[in-house]
Structure 1
Amino acid sequence: MGNENRELQVLFFPLPANGHIIPCIDLARVFASRGIKTTVVTTPLNEPLISRTIGKANISIRVIMFPSPEQTGLPEGCQHFDSALSPDMLITFLKAMVLLRDPLEHLMQQETPDCIVADMFFPWATDSAAKFGIPRIVFHGMGYFPTCVSACLRQYKPQEKVSSYTETFVVPKLPGEITLTKMQLPQTPKHNEVFTKLLDDANASELNSFGVIANSFYELEPIYADFYRNELGRRAWHLGPVCLSKRDTDEKAQRGKEAAIDEHECLKWLDSKEPHSVVYVCFGSMTTFSDTQLKEIALGLEASGLNFIWVVKKRSNGSLEWLPEGFEERVLNQGKGLIIRGWAPQMMILDHEAVGGFVTHCGWNSALEGICAGLPMVTWPMYAEQFYNAKFLTDIVKIGVRVGVQTWIGMMGGNPVKNDAIEKAVKRIMVGDEAEEMRNRAKELSHMARRALEEGGSSYSDFNSLIEDLRSRAR
């Protein structure tokens, strides 16, 4: 095709869900910063969120039409996971993603990119790319460890040999004697034929694709990076942690949705606290807790005596009536705690030196952001592959403490975790020798993460080899 120096163009196509869009845009920023012509494809209502997250990076956006409610069975204006509120609607939403195929192919015809990086939930993208003779790369935003666990469970099915949901089994062939129970495996939602088929298709299309980009760095999980490539025989490049793609403070605060708090007010509050004295509590953008569970968290935080910032998913009625009696006067008005209702500028908060620990649902984005900030974590996994990520933080890199959730509780939460368990867990990551040791380990990983992205680092070099592969194909 063109000459050696022809500019490569890469299209990025993220799934419209915060946990997928943000790392995908961060990844696109990495490509743009290395001089690759970078374009993100999305639908009209997701465009504002995407352009905020792109910030000042040199990335263009192309919009394709979202199919009509008649075609999708979704309500008008539902183009993002956030607006698909019930399990049934999520399934309808994922099914509707297939309808983006024609508009995407039409765009590919116009743009003639050299490669498309598409979310795992677009399994058909591998065939679409093949039509135009270009490689499709899969991006699911995860690291190697959870991907290896899933692959081994899919292949060897040890979960089918146990007699109960609570009996432990070892993940076959995987280094590190990893034990799980059936309760900790991703449970597929109701009408799971659709979802199971989607995961099967995603797996098959990944095997046929050009390869996978892992949001990780070699030094974090060398054994699993090697296992993924050598034992499982998959092509992969680690280009992470993508959340470290260079940004100024304003851009950090702008990443994702409109924050529910003024960033300056938030920083001012943090500036008034001692180093490592604040625990940050956030369960991602999909988790909704019962009032009972929220009350237990409030009591646990209060009993711990620690400063905290707690992000609570916004309710439709916006009330805080679930707060324990007198909590506002005793805790919030005394400046001990800050509650953010809605979206928080998470990276900006985690990077502040006042923050000393992180209570997380263990989505891979949050886990990595915690690692990059050098923080010990309380692991409170809910659904999807979060139990694997929690295992990784507690048992493999040893910078996490369990809060006692051993079972899959879904996005709506199950039996509430009691306040004394919460109090105990946050104290363990914040005060004492164990906390200090975990923080030192986390800090070491955080330095390694930054080095991986610098010239000569493992992620920097993997990026070069990926671009080399793409160039040799495009010639």
Structure 2
Amino acid sequence: MAPMAEPVAAAPAPPHFVIVPLPAQGHTIPMADLARLLAERGARASLVVTPVNAARLRGVAGLAARAKLRLEIVEVPFPADSGLPPGVENVDQITDYGHFLPFFLALKELAGPLEAYLRAQAVRPSCVISDWSNSWTAGVARRVGIPRLFFHGPSCFYSLCDINAATHGLQQQDDTERYLVPGMPVRVEVTMGTRPGFLNSAGFEALKDAAMEAMRTADGAVVNTFTDLEDEFIACYEVALGKPVWTLGPFCLCNRDDDAMASRGNKLGIDQSAVTAWLDAMDTDSVIYVNFGSLARKVPKYLYEVGHGLEDSGKPFVWVVKESEVSTPEVQEWLSALEARAAGRGLVVRGWAPQLAILSHRAVGGFVTHCGWNSLLESVAHGVPVVTWPHFSDQFLNERLAVDVLGVGVPIGVTAPVLLFGDEAMRFGRADVARAVSALMDGGEEADERRRRAKVYGEKARRAMEKGGSSYESLTQLIQSFTLQGGKQH
């Protein structure tokens, strides 16, 4: 009688990561990239979003389907009784400052639909990865019995400042209004206006306390950065947090072709091929790209100063202007006149821009940025130095990282935060814009060193994401840890 064959163990099911972004472009875009990274490595990734945000992710879903990736968009209804105007489901749609608190409070009502989705799965999902601001996911994950990681959008440099300031307080320097952030491996000074801390505004205290508590009770953190960029800050942050910190970035480098770059974020305000054709005609490293992110909106007075500053700099430029910034006939007429004067040297993009396609083009040699971490990291990942122009939140500390630590930035000189819907209090003019752009783009020893350092970091970013690189291997370990844990049947 032939010996019986040994039973073959069934291969473990791929781990299932349920990803819950904050409905804001600067948070949703990197988490969609994270979902793609997980799916490309064999995991299953589900992005839980509301209908408006699901519509913005159709391009991501379509690319994943064509590549046969296990990436799905899970649509849950936005609360009908939120007190917000109909259809407002993303931070960038808010036009009244008084709607921010109701918006964040409404998000807590998504706990029920998320829990229902998790419980409806035949095999319990392996892990919830939720945005730091979505503290309401903590109770859901605990009730269903699923590990939870939090995703924090800024740099580890910023996050370390934040947790140290929260734990130890800020130390005032002499009799000035400057404060020292304790526990940092480098000296970091802030003002009360530029201090670390999300949800610092009056009325948001309970939301901030809940977010800090959800951070402390999470099983770990996922951050969009890489070891060769922030090694000492990553190590210190992990110690301060007291739990694993998975650094898996730059996430943006998972977008390797035109279709992937064009599908990120929102409907483009210009055809990507038109931008590429315009850049193709320019010299290498000659063009300055200008984009202040999805939220900050310039009032006409300062929109004019930016435009005239770019014109006065004499450099070729691609400038992204929001539709909300050119909503009056006067501004439209002014912008059309600027375009006519700068024809052949300046390209104005109205609306959403294909930022990765622009930054990855050989002609782009500098970026005027608001220092949101996504934009700053995308610039670093493509070896492009920056003019730093922070507006609020983490952006001032991201500026310090770019200028003082990494040595890839020229500050425009802004020292105080501005309101989201206007920058009337901002003190700058066209001469400041022209000066900063020229300092970045004109050459000379300092400019050449910034450019060299940016290109070195760009190469290190590429290597981090390749097999054997720090981020690639960190993602391998993350997936394996949840594969070995395995899902449980309901």
> Shorter-chain TM-score category?
over 0.9
SS of aligned partner of 2:63: coil
Q: Deviations 1:130-173 (Å, cap 9, x if unpaired)?
A: 112111111122221110011111112216x4688x62222111
SS of aligned partner of 1:213: strand
Check whether the contact 1:136–1:209 (CA below 8 A) recurs between aligned residues. Answer: yes
The aligned residue for residue 378 of structure 1 is: 387
Q: Deviations 1:31-64 (Å, cap 9, x if unpaired)?
A: 0010001111111222111122344122111111
Counterpart Cα distance in 2 of 1:324 and 1:248: 32
What's the offset of the Cα at 1:190? Answer: 9.3
Q: Of 430, 439, 463, which aligns to 1:451?
A: 463
The aligned residue for residue 157 of structure 2 is: 145
The aligned residue for residue 241 of structure 1 is: 250
SS of aligned partner of 1:66: coil
Q: Deviations 1:241-261 (Å, cap 9, x if unpaired)?
A: 101114311221121111101
TM-score, normalised via structure 2 length: 0.91
SS of aligned partner of 1:323: helix
Q: 1:188 to 1:450 in 2, by over 3 A?
A: closer
SS of aligned partner of 2:216: helix
Q: Of 175, 179, 182, which aligns to 2:185?
A: 175
What's the offset of the Cα at 1:410? Answer: 2.7
Counterpart Cα distance in 2 of 1:191 and 1:243: 30
Question: Aligned Cα RMSD in Å?
Answer: 2.0
Counterpart Cα distance in 1 of 2:360 and 2:453: 16
The aligned residue for residue 430 of structure 2 is: 419
Work out whether 1:299 is the aligned partner of 2:308. Answer: yes
Check whether the contact 1:292–1:322 (CA below 8 A) recurs between aligned residues. Answer: no
The aligned residue for residue 4 of structure 2 is: none
SS of aligned partner of 2:57: helix
Amino acid in structure 2 at the alignment position of 1:93:
F
The aligned residue for residue 108 of structure 1 is: 118
SS of aligned partner of 1:192: coil
Check whether the contact 1:25–1:54 (CA below 8 A) recurs between aligned residues. Answer: no
The aligned residue for residue 238 of structure 2 is: 229
The aligned residue for residue 3 of structure 2 is: none
Amino acid in structure 1 at the alignment position of 2:477:
S
Q: 1:306 to 1:131 in 2, by over 3 A?
A: same
SS of aligned partner of 1:184: coil
The aligned residue for residue 79 of structure 1 is: 89
Counterpart Cα distance in 2 of 1:323 and 1:127: 52
Q: Of 314, 319, 323, which aligns to 2:334?
A: 323
Check whether the contact 2:247–2:474 (CA below 8 A) recurs between aligned residues. Answer: yes
What's the offset of the Cα at 1:449? Answer: 0.7
Q: Of 410, 417, 431, which aligns to 2:442?
A: 431
Q: 1:322 to 1:120 in 2, by over 3 A?
A: farther
Correspondences of 1:8-157 after superposition (within 5 Å): 8-57=15-64, 58=69, 59-68=71-80, 71-111=81-121, 112-157=124-169
- Bigger CA radius of gyration: 2
Q: 1:189 to 1:177 in 2, by over 3 A?
A: closer
Correspondences of 1:241-390 after superposition (within 5 Å): 241-315=250-324, 317=327, 319=329, 320-321=331-332, 323=334, 327-331=338-342, 333=343, 335-390=344-399
Counterpart Cα distance in 2 of 1:438 and 1:176: 20
Check whether the contact 2:154–2:394 (CA below 8 A) recurs between aligned residues. Answer: no
What's the offset of the Cα at 1:19? Answer: 0.8
Q: Of 465, 474, 477, which aligns to 1:462?
A: 474
- Give the gaps of 5 or more residues in structure 2: 1-8
Amino acid in structure 1 at the alignment position of 2:226:
F
Q: Deviations 1:380-406 (Å, cap 9, x if unpaired)?
A: 000111001010000000100100101
What's the offset of the Cα at 1:126? Answer: 1.6
Identity rate, percent: 36
Q: Deviations 1:202-222 (Å, cap 9, x if unpaired)?
A: 111111011110100011011
Amino acid in structure 2 at the alignment position of 1:86:
D
Amino acid in structure 2 at the alignment position of 1:436:
D
Q: Deviations 1:291-341 (Å, cap 9, x if unpaired)?
A: 11111111211111000000011127264347389533321x3x1101111
Check whether the contact 1:22–1:255 (CA below 8 A) recurs between aligned residues. Answer: yes
Counterpart Cα distance in 1 of 2:469 and 2:200: 44
Amino acid in structure 2 at the alignment position of 1:263:
Q
- Select between 29-38 and 171-180 the one with higher mean Cα deviation: 171-180
TM-score, normalised via structure 1 length: 0.94
Check whether the contact 1:22–1:53 (CA below 8 A) recurs between aligned residues. Answer: no
Amino acid in structure 2 at the alignment position of 1:452:
A
Q: 1:110 to 1:241 in 2, by over 3 A?
A: same
Check whether the contact 1:253–1:345 (CA below 8 A) recurs between aligned residues. Answer: yes
Amino acid in structure 2 at the alignment position of 1:448:
K
Check whether the contact 1:12–1:38 (CA below 8 A) recurs between aligned residues. Answer: yes
Q: 1:28 to 1:190 in 2, by over 3 A?
A: closer
Q: Of 416, 419, 423, which aligns to 1:407?
A: 416
The aligned residue for residue 208 of structure 2 is: 199
The aligned residue for residue 223 of structure 2 is: 214
Q: 1:318 to 1:339 in 2, by over 3 A?
A: farther
Work out whether 1:392 is the aligned partner of 2:401. Answer: yes
Counterpart Cα distance in 2 of 1:218 and 1:454: 13
